[in-house]
Structure formats: C-alpha cells, structure tokens
Amino acid sequence: MTYALQILYILYKITELAMSETPQYGLEQARAQLPHIASEAVAGCSSVITRHGKPVAVVVPVDQWRDQQIRSLKQGGVLALRGSGCGLWPQGAAAAVAKLRDEWT
C-alpha cells in the first residue's frame, strides 16, 4: 500500500470512528425527534441524519458551523469564490447556452 493510500485509510478510519461516536438518526426518526436534536445542538453535540443507513446531513451547533465557514474563507477555499461570478453572463445567457447546445444535437 502506498503512503498516500495509507494516509487516506487512516483518515477514513478517523472519520468512521468520529461518526460512530456521533448520535445517528434515520430520516423519519430525526423528523420525529427534531426538538431533541436541536437541543443537543444547543448543548454542543452534533448529530448525523441518515437515509437508508447512509449519512445525508449533519446537525451541528451554530458556533461550530460559523467557525468552519470562517476557516474556509480564510483558507481561500471554494466558499471564498461565492458571488464572484455575478455579472459575468449577460442577460439572456440561458438562451445563448441553449442555442449552443442545439448546435451539437
């Protein structure tokens, strides 16, 4: 196993361990227990919501989410680009794209 694969495997296991310690709720169960899940978030605990056993959402405390947003912006990630494309496409851009698509079909 290469070094990169070993690192990926370790990260996967760490994530798996963290997920196993985090309370998980099926979608219907989460819907029924939303006030409880929200109370857990206020108390600082995260919860994972699953659909058919696969994680689809995470409820986290607002402060934790806000801190992550700030870290992402400081690191210059994709979120830093949010809104930067405003005005790049003229009005009617959808029609121009549709016309280009029609040329290929």
Note the pLDDT tens digit of each residue in 33-61: 999 999 999 999 999 999 998 999 999 99
**Starting at the edge strand that comes first in sequence, how are the strands of the sheet with 24-26 ordered?**
24-26, 47-51, 54-59
pTM of the model: 0.53
C-alpha to C-alpha distance for 76 and 80, rounded to whole angstroms: 5
101 vs 31: which has the higher pLDDT = 31
96 vs 61: which has the higher pLDDT = 61
Per-residue pLDDT band for 68 (boundaries 50, 70, 90) equals confident
Share of the chain above pLDDT 90, in %: 36
Residue written as tokens 């760490």? 14
Query: Mean pLDDT across the stretch 5-11?
Result: 76
Domains along the sequence of the chain with CATH:
23-79 (3.40.1620.10)
